[in-house]
Amino acid sequence: MHLPSLSTTAITLLLAANAATTLVEAKVKLLSWDAAYSKAEALVSQMSLEQKVGITTGTGWMKGACVGNTYSTSSPDFPALCLQDAPLGIRFAYNVTSGVSGINAAASFDRKAIRERAEYMGKEFRGKGVHVQLGPAMNFMRNPRGGRGWEAGGEDPFLMGVLAEETVKGIQDQGVIATSKHYILNEQETNRKKSSTDVDSRTLHEIYLWPFARSVEAGVGSIMCSYNMANGTYACENEYLMNTVLKGELGFKGFVQSDWSATHSTVDAANNGLDMNMPGDVDMDHENTGTYFGKNLTDAVEAGKVSDDRATDMAMRIVASWYKMNQDKNFPDVSLDSFHLDKAPYVNVQSNHGKLVREMGAASNVLLKNVKDTLPIDPKKVKKIAVIGSDSISDPKLFNCADHGCVGDTLAQGWGSGTSFYPYLIDPLTGLSNAFGKKVAVASTADDWDLKKAAEVAKDSDYAFVFSNADSGEEYINIDGNVGDRKNLTLWHNGDNLIKAVADANKNTIVVIHAVGSVLMPWIDHPNIKAVLWPGLPGQESGNSLADVVIGKVNPSGRLPYTIAKKEEDYNTGIDEEAAYEYKEKLLLGYKWFDHAKIEPLFPFGHGLSYTKFDYSKLSVKAKASYDKKDKKTIKDATVKASISIKNAGHVEGAEIVQAYLSFPESAGSPPQQLRGFEKVFLKKGKKETVKFELTKTELSIWDEGTESWVIPSGKFTINIGASSRDIRKSSSFTL
């Protein structure tokens, strides 16, 4: 995608207009798909072929108020639909909230917080008159260098599935159509429009399809097909993926829209499952290239190459999704002007959502290391702190550069179409300075390259906070040779040398990393590095969220949604340059590979420390199965219920993320263990609570390629309960 530039005047307007709000708080009662289709049939049956095709066709790039716009109809009346990025907030708009990224939402391991994040986004998109939010994203962090991994939920399908389900429900409860994207196998930016991603059926189902299945179960209204080919055929005209799997096997009732210019044909795309062509142009980079839909689709129907029933189905799916969200009743007018930002009507939808962003930023901050309880810090016991590194500051001229495709200040989002403008950005220097108060002296330098100065600033401070980052994003922006995907896993801006220089000078060094994903940490064992904080990409309240954790206002409970390796070679995947490449790792993605290969990670999936400690006891597991009446050995259904007692055995209140991993029978050929449940439990000191898990056929099944179906394998299962994938506290086996 391309983008408008942001003028100095626009930045001034953006920073100033943050007072009043016109947001209407209203949860929408959604229709069932059956009821929505009944209403859609009544409307679409009155339409001509040209009208039905118009609903499926984008008006063209930069030819409307939104990043995607469809044609309206009259007699019968159906509005032009507004489709707008991004998965974390409204792109190309002022007076909106710019919150935590998808990877942070996942790092919270908190269903309630994920839902609340989605609900406020839904309110804001609705408040701006947006019919379709282009999110959530749910492509995997197959390799940590993948450019857009930060938009989604990491390396595990179960965690990604929870993120998908809760986000879809939260957005759509506000009457906005959610879009699950990018379907499917779109895990890197390199050659994303040219390469073919090849994968076997079991890997497809057990890993990459999993979050899309949870989205469909949640009632998602739209799914966006991706740029890449899959097993040799473009995703947006792939009959197996769209018709057989998505609309057949999963029973998806909504509409499939293309990613922007991911359509490559008229007849094949329409017949094989594409329902809406976005943004409409054959080539959005050039004017007057025509469209694959529009008149070309009308001609194809009239020539019998695409059936009239199929054209009707395409329109029905779009109209039914619109009715399902009750968008025919009291839906606000579109108040965006994406490509002429200063001309958009003033509609402020922020409400109190900054408070939620601050809370989520703190809840998703992962405490990786904390030697001898260095954190939290009591400001009353401190005379001076040092804050060092360009990642600690923000410059208003930079923090809202086009699609955040710039460097030079604190990192709070990656770059690309998955971003939104900050209404403001609280940088770490500001957040820490405010939290420690006027009685604490704050020395600082933002120069990453003057190591002598950094050491001077750090040496006589009680604590030295040193900041660094690593960025990535979408391939249409190239930053220092990082064409979306990262070139390597090293820190940017001389980060490793800066950290070492500060640690050499100060015995209480605290490292803070804002990163899109894993980085290498050659300095991790430095004796003066007493704590490492991993805030990820926390959005507009970045500095405040960080400070809340540092001074103990919030006890950290964030957990890593991906594995941080000791060296890059420990990962079993890379960024592939070939025209066609196979996911040879199959099911051994992320921590499953590290478990299988017995490789010790630097920090494992699910890892995160707390200011208190939790004891696990009294694990109980009960399994129940029903069998096929004809074949007594075939398990028809099963339920496993597990419970465990968690006690806060420390000195302060806090939340534990209790994680349940399942090991399948050896005959299943599955990874050593797989996440199949997690619960966030908040406990005051000395208190205990019983945490319960229930595993059903969904969690207990594997995909059988012979029968092309989900089956529950027979044999011995083991359930492992712990604080991370490598911190298992209790285990118990059961047999099905």
* Residues recognised as catalytic: 259
CA dist., res. 109 & res. 129, Å (int): 31
CA dist., res. 547 & res. 376, Å (int): 10
Assess contact for 314 and 22: CB atoms under 8 A. no
CA dist., res. 146 & res. 414, Å (int): 12
Spell out the alpha helix ranges (H) of 19-81.
Answer: 33-44, 49-56
> Which residues have a Cβ under 8 Å from the Cβ of 147 and sit 6 or more positions away?
188, 189, 414, 416, 472, 473, 474, 475, 482, 483, 484, 485, 486
* DSSP letter (8 states) at residue 127: H
Q: Is the dihedral of CA 147, 153, 158, 162 positive or negative?
A: negative
Q: How many Å is the maximal CA-CA distance in the chain?
A: 80
> Which residues have a Cβ under 8 Å from the Cβ of 383 and sit 6 or more positions away?
440, 441, 462
The per-residue b/e assignment along 432-460, b for 16 or more CB within 10 angstroms, e otherwise, is bbebbeeebebbbbbbbeebeebbebbee
CA dist., res. 592 & res. 133, Å (int): 33
CA dist., res. 290 & res. 80, Å (int): 19
The per-residue b/e assignment along 628-637, b for 16 or more CB within 10 angstroms, e otherwise, is eeeeeeebee
Phi, psi of 461 (to 5 degrees): -95, 150
Token pair in block for residue 466: 């040193």
Q: In what order do the strands lie in the sheet with 255-258?
A: 68-69, 82-84, 132-133, 177-183, 222-225, 255-258
Q: If we measure between CA atoms, which residue out of 53, 54, 540, 130 comes closest to residue 306?
A: 53
Token pair in block for residue 38: 């009944």
Q: What is the CA radius of gyration of the chain?
A: 25
Q: Going by DSSP bridges, is the β-strand pair 463-470/509-515 parallel, antiparallel, or unpaired?
A: parallel
What one-letter code names the amino acid at 27? K
E strands present in 535-653: 580-582, 614-627, 635-648
Assess contact for 176 and 220: CB atoms under 8 A. no
What one-letter code names the amino acid at 545? S
Token pair in block for residue 19: 């007072």
Q: In what order do the strands lie in the sheet with 614-627?
A: 614-627, 635-648, 688-695
Q: If we measure between CA atoms, which residue out of 31, 211, 27 comes closest to residue 119?
A: 27
CA dist., res. 563 & res. 572, Å (int): 12
**DSSP letter string over 253-274?**
-SEEEE-TT----SHHHHHTT-
Instruction: Judge residue 2's burial from the number of C-beta atoms within 10 Å of its C-beta, 0-12 exposed, 13-18 middle, 19 or more buried.
Output: middle
What one-letter code names the amino acid at 371? V
Token pair in block for residue 667: 């005959």
Q: In what order do the strands lie in the sheet with 463-470?
A: 366-370, 529-534, 509-515, 463-470, 384-388, 441-445
Per the DSSP assignment, residues forming a β-bridge with 281 are: none
